Structure 1
Amino acid sequence: MAQETGVFIYGIVPSDVEPIPEAEGVGSPPSEVTAIRHGNLAALVSEVGLEEPLGRPADLTAYETLLDGTVVVAPVLPVRFGTVVTGAEAVGDLLDAHHDRFVAALAELDDRLQYLVHGRFVEPAFISGFLAGDSSAAALAGQVRGRPEAESREQRIRLGEMISEAVALRREAENRELVDAVGRYAVANAVRPPSHELDAVKLAFLVAADDEDDFVRAVEGFAEQRRNLIRMRLRGPVAPYDFVSAYQLVE
């Protein structure tokens, strides 16, 4: 019995955009990526089995690789990962229903790229600086140092809470300072939730193509000033995942 199939939608692009030649879609084996066109729009799609589980790391990588590769040559509206419709006709209905809104959004994103800035505190450096500036925490650290964990459990818990609170406050400050340092080279920014207890900064920036070099230099300067305290990573350009409404329009 043949498996029922659906259409996985990756993103919305202008109608003249073709899938990048090396594009591989989700699924095992990887599906072929094609474009379904309607008016001034096209949807990047691939066929998937309706009973095939999606969400493997390889599927997410395929989704991001396609969209991140596309945004280098054309604006793209990412559609929420895992969006599957019944067939090409349903894709056409989607593009028709939101045609003008999608066209306007693509025009706003033309020559704009997303960058992600992620920094994580160097734990020994952060803790030593925190203890040097907080006498109560330093006293607690002295009480637990060299003592068995069972005998100093309450003090360790309290010290851990104090360090976590300090990290959260410092994270808010570092995020603000990063925006102050590089924000003039970005069209917009969005704070992302931390993915690790020692995350120091985590923001997405939408950057005009003409400002890319200045933006990257500003991020590098920010990172250099904190190189002993924060390990920084810049990722991009990527598709504007944090700055589009197509996530909400396609459910």
Structure 2
Amino acid sequence: MAVYVYAITPADHPLRLDGVTGVGEPAERLRVVTEGDLAAVVSDAPEGLRAKRRDVLAHQTVLQELLGQAGVLPLRFGALAPDDDAVTDALRERAANYRDRLRALDGCAEFHLKASCPEDLLLAAVLRESDDARRMNEEIRSGHGGQDLKISLGELVAAEVTARRTALGAAVVEALRPLAREVRESEAVGDDFVSASFLVERTRQNAFLEREAELVGEYGEDFDFRLHGPLPPYSFV
């Protein structure tokens, strides 16, 4: 039978999972596959598994329980292996890599931050602070600018808005970077100017949260900061 894999841990992890069940309905019983100094928390994989709310929550609950006890390499929802022997083989063949990542993640959790601001705010700033953009816009508004000038203004404003988004994102990440062990950035979409994951040691989490709250106040109500965490460190596995 196929095996559902939740996480990889050190073999000496406490693995206290009494009362915690896995995916599936009825919920599958959790068990541990051990190879050397590594272990994997698994269950039988139910047929036709889909990312239903009940199963996603069950996966997250297992990981949160493990993370609260000791270091863990969390696997994303839906990780399957053919059987327990395949899990054992993977633990043995990739042991060095798993040990390295467990050391890197030990005592840490992930915080994921997204932040956005309305594009109108950036457009207004460009027209207010760029002499070229302001001049071109005034010419167009007065009826003296043709289609070429409109295109040039559009290109200038788009480039300036992109540059400002990039600068905003870099400033936020750099303000929080000293409080994180590692940072992983992903592409910001829509009105977002930053999308980043921070690997934060438990002993520094309060300081990280306080600094993020300071940034919210510094940037003001026109900016929308969305911070999620502490989370299992998916982005750093």
TM bracket (short chain): 0.7 to 0.9
Equivalent residue number for residue 64 of structure 1 = 60
Identity %: 27
TM norm structure 2: 0.79
Matches for 1:163-202 after TM superposition, within 5 Å: 165-194=159-188, 196-202=189-195
Equivalent residue number for residue 35 of structure 2 = 38
Q: Does 1:226 align with 2:219?
A: yes
Q: Does 1:77 align with 2:73?
A: yes
Moved more, 63-72 or 6-15: 63-72
Equivalent residue number for residue 149 of structure 1 = none
Maintained 8 Å contact 2:15/2:69: no
Alpha carbons of structure 1 residues 38 and 201: separation in structure 2 relative to 1, 3 Å: same
Instruction: Give per-residue Cα distances to partners, 1:9-42, cap 9 Å, x unaligned.
Output: 1210122332544644333444333322222222
Amino acid at match of 1:198: D
- For the residue of structure 2 that corresponds to 1:235, the secondary structure is strand
CA distance in 2, matches of 1:44, 1:183: 32
CA distance in 1, matches of 2:222, 2:170: 17
Maintained 8 Å contact 1:8/1:84: yes
CA distance in 2, matches of 1:49, 1:156: 59
Maintained 8 Å contact 1:190/1:203: yes
Amino acid at match of 1:183: R
Amino acid at match of 1:236: G
Amino acid at match of 1:6: A
2:111 to 94, 109, 115: 115
Equivalent residue number for residue 249 of structure 1 = none
Equivalent residue number for residue 150 of structure 1 = none
Maintained 8 Å contact 1:117/1:234: yes
TM norm structure 1: 0.75
Unaligned stretches of 5+ residues in structure 2: 142-148
- For the residue of structure 1 that corresponds to 2:2, the secondary structure is strand
Amino acid at match of 1:76: V
CA distance in 2, matches of 1:237, 1:138: 45
Maintained 8 Å contact 1:27/1:54: no
CA distance in 2, matches of 1:241, 1:83: 13
Maintained 8 Å contact 1:121/1:199: yes
Give the Å deviation of 1:134: 5.0
Give the Å deviation of 1:186: 1.1
Amino acid at match of 2:179: Y
Larger radius of gyration: 2
Amino acid at match of 1:101: N
Moved more, 93-102 or 55-64: 55-64
Maintained 8 Å contact 1:26/1:54: no
Q: Does 1:212 align with 2:205?
A: yes
Moved more, 196-205 or 100-109: 100-109
Maintained 8 Å contact 1:10/1:80: yes
2:235 to 239, 242, 246: 242
Unaligned stretches of 5+ residues in structure 1: 146-154, 245-251
- For the residue of structure 1 that corresponds to 2:89, the secondary structure is helix
Give the Å deviation of 1:204: 0.7
